[in-house]
Structure 1
Amino acid sequence: MSDQQKADYIDDVDVDEEWDAHPSDAELEEAVENLEASGFDVEVVADADEVLEYVTDAIPAGESVMNGHSTTLEEIGFMAYLNEGDHEWENLYGEVFSIDDDEARAAARREAQAADYFLGSANAIGRDGTLVAADLSGSRVGAYPFAAKHLLVVAGINKIVEDEEAARERLHDYAYTFENERAQEAYGVESYPSKELVYRQEGTEGRTTVVLVEETLGY
């Protein structure tokens, strides 16, 4: 299936678009400071082109790379870049989804959670330094807490909200309305945030980097 964007579903959902409002400069600074205080490394970049360059430069040659589904990664061009093979990484995503057998593919997908670099996004980011993300099976967020050696979380600043409570509200009231539409189109089933991660602190120095993009990306 081709890359999908939030715009593909905007006419099919009824949501409050205020959830995509950008923070003020002071609010963005507050979010960065609190994320760093929570143990996350943080980079703020201007746009999709800059974030793609940052992410691809951050992954050393020879490292294994995996990702969970992310509309944001599709919108910035990372998935196309990964699958074109114009890099010197071990593309675990490509390896996993080249397996025809369902059981073997599921086993490989679990093993790939422990990639050297795992990439994804968050459904919401609290200015209190909290990340919130969820999915139906856990395959998108399973690597976040521990399994991956390094984690790169890419998110547009449209996902920044006041605090953890607001982040969880954005997840349930906004992001998963879009995700449900995507899942029905992609897989023929409804989605639900059945496995929800509230990521309040990173205890391993240098493990998790949050890359904030000063654009509206994903949902």
Structure 2
Amino acid sequence: MSDQRKADYIDDVDVDEEWDAHPSDAELDEAVENLEASGFDVEVVADAEEALAYVTDAIPEGASVMNGHSTTLEEIGFMAHLSEGDHGWENRYGEVFSIDDDEARAAARREAQAADYFLGSANAIGRDGTLVAADLSGSRMGAYPFAAKHLLVVAGVNKIVADEEAARERLHEYAYAFENERAQEAYGVESYPSKELVYRQEGTEGRTTVVLVEETLGY
């Protein structure tokens, strides 16, 4: 699996780096409080190493595991960890992408949205307790609001902004400049946030955990 980082594309995009600023301690506390009030479980960790330890410990033996593309998951080392061997999980990601036939792979990918544990990130997080994420294909979006039994959203605190409006602006003005470059390199096509999720509330207790990492991760 390739190890892709924002630094790979930083020279190819024209963006306002203020979108990557870290929140103050008070702003981080506000985000945590409002995310929890919105029904999300929240775990704040110091760095990528702690984030990896948290998510791998959270997934029980025997669980089926799938993920959407996420530079953050690559940066914390989850994708490398997943590919290293048998962790006692049902690795839906490995199963899906071992299929050569396009139609069969797409069908398996749809089924994998309902994995016991689905991992990904968000493009922005509002301090008002809102998560915002988008895809060209929607390959993550089906799992986030309902299909997955459990959802682990890992994000650097650099993605925290004031509110839902600012979160959507960060998505369109910042994150997708990088995603467009990545898509062209990886797939030979341009990307676009054609399927956008605004995730304001989680109604199922314990279903969705937001892991906030006190580092700059992803875009």
TM-score by length of 1: 0.99
The CA distance in 2 between the partners of 1:85 and 1:199, in whole Å, is 33
Cα separation, 1, equivalents of 2:26 and 2:130: 17
> Would the aligned equivalents of 2:113 and 2:140 in 1 still touch at CA under 8 Å?
no
Which digits, 9 at most, give the CA deviation of each residue in 1:104-153, with x for residues without a partner?
Answer: 00000000000000000000000000000001000022200000000000
Question: Which position in structure 2 is the counterpart of 1:93?
Answer: 93
Maintained 8 Å contact 2:134/2:194: yes
Cα distance in 2, alignment partners of residues 217 and 107 from structure 1: 31
Where in structure 1 are there 5+ consecutive unaligned residues? Answer: none
% same residue: 93
Counterpart-to-counterpart distance in 2, 1:36 and 1:192: 30
Corresponding position of 1:57: 57
Distance in 1 (alpha carbons) for counterparts of 2:83 and 2:114: 19
Secondary structure in structure 2 of the residue aligned to 1:34: helix
Q: CA deviation at 1:2?
A: 1.4
The structural deviation recorded for 1:194 is 0.1
Q: 2 CA distance for matches of 1:39 and 1:164?
A: 16
Residue aligned with 2:218, SS: coil
Q: Secondary structure at the match of 1:119?
A: strand
Counterparts of 2:86 and 2:4, CA distance in 1: 21
Shift of 1:86: 4.4
Deviation readout 1:61-105 (Å, 9 max, x if unpaired): 000000000000000000000111241100000000000000000
Give the length in aligned residue pairs.
219
1:16 and 1:140 map into 2 onto residues whose CA distance is 26
* Other-structure match for 2:110: 110
Aligned-residue RMSD, C-alpha: 0.6
CA distance in 2, matches of 1:53, 1:141: 25
